[in-house]
Chain A
Amino acid sequence: MRAQVRAWRAAVPPWVGRVGPAVLLALAIVFPFFFGVADDTMNTATLAMAYIVMALGLNIVVGFAGLLDLGYLAFYAIGSYCVGWFGSGFYADANIHVLATKFAGTLPGIHFWWVIIALIAIVFCAIAGVIIGLPTLRLRGDYIAIVTLGFGEIIRVFALNGDTLKIGDYALTNGRQGISAVDAIGFPGATPFSQLNLRPWYWVALGMVVITLFVNFRVRDSRLGRAWIAVREDEVAAAAMGVPLVRTKLLAYALGAGLGGMSGAFLGSYLTNITSDSFLFSFSIYVLAMVILGGLGSIWGVVVGAIALTYINYELLPNQLNNLPHQLFDLDFQLTDVQFAIFGGLLVIMMVLRPEGLLPERRRQLELEHGIGAGDAIAHEMEMEHP
């Protein structure tokens, strides 16, 4: 089967690689015209775009640099809270308006243009990514996962209890209750996007996907991208050949986090309520599952993985198959109740049948076949004393 896939890949003429993305992009742009302006499909498609950005961001950390990050929800949370902080009436005493939309410009609170908020979110998350990355620099493999998991939980607990964390009268978050009535995305001075027409939201998300894809491809085929692969496969050799480990790893964390923050800022605005209940550990796993399902390190694979899991999560399970247990076996539960069991099962099946993912990356596939595992096996024989 693998040989077949390879033969099939080799048979694809080279122009497909150049024309294919342009055709895909054109299809993605006209996609909304085939559906209602605010139906479930548009909602799912918009979320899928946001999740592609998340998954591609995580792919830089996990797929390119080989740093297993289980705390990715931190950047979703921080990105979303940036919208709460800089684009809502949450801090009603402060009256700051910067390029706000027509509607938000008249409201009390801090109201920035969403693009500025997204940039702030990217910067905040990149800084947070570096802070989370720092303690993991001396660690390898599973231990990185444990530390990042812990950081993710810290952010979650901060989000939950942030309503009691006050500087003067200004609370950090609004806890479970959530910061609601956040500004919608829109252009300065114009009417903001509405929940009754999802098309503009979708196109903004699509724009983020294009930017993210560009960043992913460019970085992968650069001096930095090569350094990441070197660090992933053999950290000791990389250091000995002149790759500064600290800077290289932190850049991966920062870039991955920045993209997560951008998507978080979008989701914060799109979902209109920024509550601590959205920021759960399962989110990190959910995004990681997209990356693994698609193929670690494979850019197009991760796009496919993100679309597939978003579709399963927001459309297939709740809208199509939800009553299946009842209809088929007269059982008293719905599929959405067990969705994480289904994701878990999917991952197990993937690991057994196709551990390299749906659209595997060439290198990762080789690493699996030849047992080159993130440098761990080799690295343990010679631990470095410099971080």
Chain B
Amino acid sequence: MSDDALLEAAAVSKVFGGLVAVSDVTFDIPRRSIVSIIGPNGAGKTTFFNMLTGLYKPSAGRIWFDGRDITRTRPDQITHLGISRTFQNIRLWATMTATENVMVGQHTRMRAGLPGALLRPPRFVPLSLPLPLRRVNVEEEDARAKARETLEYVGLRAGQLDQLAVNLSYGDQRRVEIARALASDPKLLLLDEPTAGMNPQESDNLKTFMQRLRDERDLTILLIEHDMKVVMGVSERVTVFDHGEKIAEGEPAAVRADPRVVEAYLGKQG
């Protein structure tokens, strides 16, 4: 594999019973780039996503991330290695506060286990005391502070940080999901239709935000998107899926002009 690719998928397929959801897709993501996957509904985009994050095991093919084979790696281990994601239909833990959601996002970067939880000194004990397992105690407070900082970074107001996720507006829930994904300090961020349900203004903000993420946090971003305006505006490269196959790939303008892409979206002409 080449050195400049952060993630590489080679001839990956996924078969559910008789249904071929993803067929023989070869794909790579250059470091510090923003690339997109587009395609009609049912084209296999999300299935492909789920294979990259370990939720599905590919039926065939291999996936490398940052020089490591992650084809059969568990989802939590993949998160630990540095891939994080959001979901198409928001999957926050509804009864946790925004902060708590983001704290769970840091799970893989924290170390407190059962002993840590049991032996943590109470709050009124100053953190500066040289107690055993002090690290755990500090870690908990650090995680909380970092969660709040991340939430503010994605644009939540201070008053919203301790609200339950279920009580937040749709757009804010999307933001919390991104904050939760950022909390694990990923190298690669996968966004599954982040603008679904957003108005044009919000989509536009998200576009700028993604560029900011890449520049400020040194992130690589893979996007699944329906909103053509967002895709064309932000992506350096666009890959088109249809019926589980990769039918086109290239710069946004070139892909838009590709007759096979037009056919996939609008049907055959004449």
Contacts and interface: CB of A to CB of B under 8 A. Distances in A.
A238 B166 contact: no
A237 B94 contact: no
A226 B143 CA distance: 12
Interface string B84-115: 11010001111110001001110111101110
B95 A363 contact: yes
Contacts of A240: 53-55, 75, 79, 85, 87
B104 A243 contact: yes
Given A226-B100, A242-B184, A385-B57, A218 B75 contact: no
Interface residues of B, number: 43
A116 to B, nearest CB: 20
Contacts of A372: 94-95, 166
A230 B140 CA distance: 17
Contact of B164 (A224, A242, A366): A366
Interface of A: 214-215, 218-219, 222-227, 229-230, 233-234, 236-245, 251, 255, 362-363, 366-367, 370, 372, 378, 382, 384-386
Interface string B41-63: 00000000010011111000000
B55 A239 contact: yes
Nearest to B53: A240
Contact of B114 (A219, A238, A370, A385): A219
Contacts of B79: 240-242
B118 interface: yes
A359 to B, nearest CB: 17
A225 B117 CA distance: 9
Given A226-B96, A226-B104, A384-B75, A234 B91 contact: yes
Given A236-B55, A240-B53, A241-B104, A251 B114 contact: yes
25 contacts: A218-B120, A222-B112, A222-B120, A223-B103, A223-B107, A223-B112, A223-B117, A224-B114, A225-B117, A229-B96, A234-B93, A238-B104, A241-B105, A241-B181, A242-B76, A242-B80, A242-B109, A243-B108, A244-B76, A244-B77, A245-B76, A255-B114, A372-B94, A372-B166, A386-B57
Contacts of A386: 54-55, 57, 74-75
Contacts of A230: 93, 96, 104
Contact of A215 (B57, B118, B120): B118
Given A243-B108, A363-B95, A384-B55, 6 more contacts: A218-B118, A222-B140, A223-B143, A236-B91, A240-B54, A244-B74
A245 B140 CA distance: 21
Given A237-B91, A366-B94, A367-B95, A242 B55 contact: no
B180 interface: yes
B47 to A, nearest CB: 10
The 10 closest A-B pairs by CB, nearest first: A242-B108, A222-B117, A242-B79, A363-B95, A237-B91, A239-B75, A244-B76, A366-B95, A233-B93, A223-B112
Interface string B31-48: 000000000000000000
B116 interface: yes
Nearest to B75: A239
B76 A370 contact: no
A370 B112 contact: no
Interface of B: 50, 53-57, 74-77, 79-80, 84-85, 87, 91-96, 100, 103-105, 107-110, 112-114, 116-118, 120, 140, 143, 164, 166, 180-181, 184
Nearest to B73: A386
Contact of B117 (A219, A238, A366, A384): A219
B55 A243 contact: no
B118 A219 contact: yes
B89 to A, nearest CB: 8
Contacts of B85: 240
Given A224-B112, A255-B114, A386-B57, A233 B76 contact: no
A214 B180 CA distance: 29
B105 A242 contact: yes
Contacts of B184: 241-242
Contacts of B76: 239, 242-245
Contacts of A223: 103, 107, 110, 112-113, 116-117, 140, 143
A243 B180 CA distance: 13
Contacts of A362: 95
A364 B143 CA distance: 25
A255 B113 CA distance: 12
A366 B166 contact: yes
Contacts of B100: 226
A378 B54 CA distance: 18
A246 B37 CA distance: 32
Contacts of B53: 240
A347 B140 CA distance: 39
Contacts of A366: 94-95, 164, 166
Contacts of B107: 223, 226-227, 241-243
B150 to A, nearest CB: 13
A243 B114 CA distance: 15
Contacts of B118: 214-215, 218-219
A53 to B, nearest CB: 16
A276 to B, nearest CB: 32
A218 B75 CA distance: 27
B95 A229 contact: yes
Contacts of B164: 366
B55 A226 contact: no
A140 to B, nearest CB: 15
A224 B95 contact: no
B117 A218 contact: yes
A373 to B, nearest CB: 11
